[in-house]
Structure 1
Amino acid sequence: MNVRKIVTTVEEIRTEGGRQVTPAARVAVVAAVIENPWAGQGFVEDLAPGIEATASDLGALLAPAVLDALGEPAEAYGKAAIVGLNGEIEHGSALIHTLKFGDHFRKAANATTLLPAVEKRADAGAVFDIPLKHITDATIRSHHQTVEARVADAPHRDEILVALAAAAQGRPSSAWRRSRPNSRRA
């Protein structure tokens, strides 16, 4: 796996809908920009060798990084893959839709639910929304949210941008959050 760069973003929401958010709502995104092992090959019949060579190491790299950036236990999480224009959407999907990748995040976050995902093919600087769901109960609606992300110079044509996102709470204005103001540490 050839990693060109890692980008970390932490968002801290202190006011939402005219109300103070206390403690501030935190969302972190960590993105790795890697060389696409299948770039320029068009349709690849067998993606397994590239998955074996990349997915687990990528998950092991990103999972602790996003939780460290969040700085507190995750309550919601999600993933994304953005494939450069010289690749196929399946190249990104192959990397993130395998337990070899996702189980690193699931174990690190003490999670049990499926990781919601987004994947697309785009040019460098594309904006993408990472869907988030609760880590143990996907039916908790307050945790259904998205975080917008962008890496200005990625992915290049022969790269894949793979990102993990984590939130320390549900949406800042959700009734669940208001009913449990001390549900997480300050």
Structure 2
Amino acid sequence: MTGPAGVRKVVTVVDEVLLELGRPVASPVRRVAAAAVIRNPWAGRGFVADLQPEVEALAPELAQLLTDRLLSELGGVDRVEAFGKAAVVGLDGESEHGGALIHTPYFGNVLRELTEGTSIIVFSDDQLPAGEPLTVPLWHKTAAATRSHYQTVQIRIPDAPRPDEIVVIAAAASGPRPNARIGDRRTDPVVRLADLPMETAR
């Protein structure tokens, strides 16, 4: 991919869980994070009040690129059960630059439509030097309160982001956590602090 998005490289991380506590999991879960390293379009320009023009130009293209990678690694849209997104801004930018590229409909709606999701997309973002890891959270693409699908995937790119770059990430999983068994919000009891057997005095 070349052109206005200024993509320097694309990195895909695949994490497939086959054993848990030495036992084969009933249904192996594949988690994927796809990251695009791009030149920060606002770096070196000081405070830019209106980020919208660059967002409209870059975010949909990045969402398409990264979602295509997710679907390829997972085997199609029907294999996507959970999703998430993230951004890492280099030290010459500001955290709002990453937020601008992932927290608007120009990215989120494209990712959601291509994965046939309906949930709000869970996220993480940070401003970091090159090589630092970022943990990307995931949850169910159509039922965000489904606790079994709360999980994470970590990504680290040794040479990114450079100070004038942003790493934009989309992530997905093919299923829930291995051996998920802590219930669900739909079946949880009502829990109130006053009813718990704990000392509340300080």
Q: Is 2:32 aligned against 1:32? A: no
Match of 2:17 in 1: 13
Q: Secondary structure at the match of 1:175?
A: coil
Q: Secondary structure at the match of 2:111?
A: helix
Q: 1:12-91 residue pairs with structure 2 within 5 A?
A: 12-72=16-76, 73-91=79-97
User: What letter corresponds to residue 87 of structure 1 in structure 2?
Assistant: G
Tell me which structure has the larger Cα radius of gyration: 2
Moved >6 Å (runs of 4+): none
User: What letter corresponds to residue 33 of structure 2 in structure 1?
Assistant: V
- Give the CA RMSD over aligned residues: 1.5
| Post-superposition offset of 1:130 | 0.3
Q: Percent identity of the aligned residues?
A: 48
Q: Secondary structure at the match of 2:136?
A: strand
Contact 1:10/1:70, CA 8 A, preserved across alignment: no
Q: TM-score, normalized by length of structure 1?
A: 0.91
CA distance in 2, matches of 1:11, 1:168: 11
Contact 2:27/2:178, CA 8 A, preserved across alignment: no
CA distance in 2, matches of 1:113, 1:16: 28
| Post-superposition offset of 1:17 | 2.6
Match of 1:184 in 2: none
Contact 1:42/1:88, CA 8 A, preserved across alignment: no
Deviations 1:79-125 (A, max 9, x none): 01000000000000000001111122211211000111111100001
Match of 2:163 in 1: 157
Contact 2:139/2:149, CA 8 A, preserved across alignment: yes
Match of 2:175 in 1: 169
Question: What is the aligned length?
Answer: 177
Q: Which runs of 5+ in 1 are unaligned?
A: 177-186
CA distance in 1, matches of 2:135, 2:156: 9
Contact 2:15/2:153, CA 8 A, preserved across alignment: no
| Post-superposition offset of 1:135 | 0.4
| Post-superposition offset of 1:12 | 0.9
| Post-superposition offset of 1:42 | 3.5
Q: Which moved more, 1:67-76 or 1:7-16?
A: 67-76
| Post-superposition offset of 1:20 | 0.9
| Post-superposition offset of 1:151 | 0.8
Contact 1:145/1:171, CA 8 A, preserved across alignment: yes
| Post-superposition offset of 1:9 | 1.2
| Post-superposition offset of 1:25 | 1.2
Contact 1:2/1:35, CA 8 A, preserved across alignment: yes
Q: Which runs of 5+ in 2 are unaligned?
A: 183-202
CA distance in 2, matches of 1:128, 1:5: 17
User: What letter corresponds to residue 19 of structure 1 in structure 2?
Assistant: R
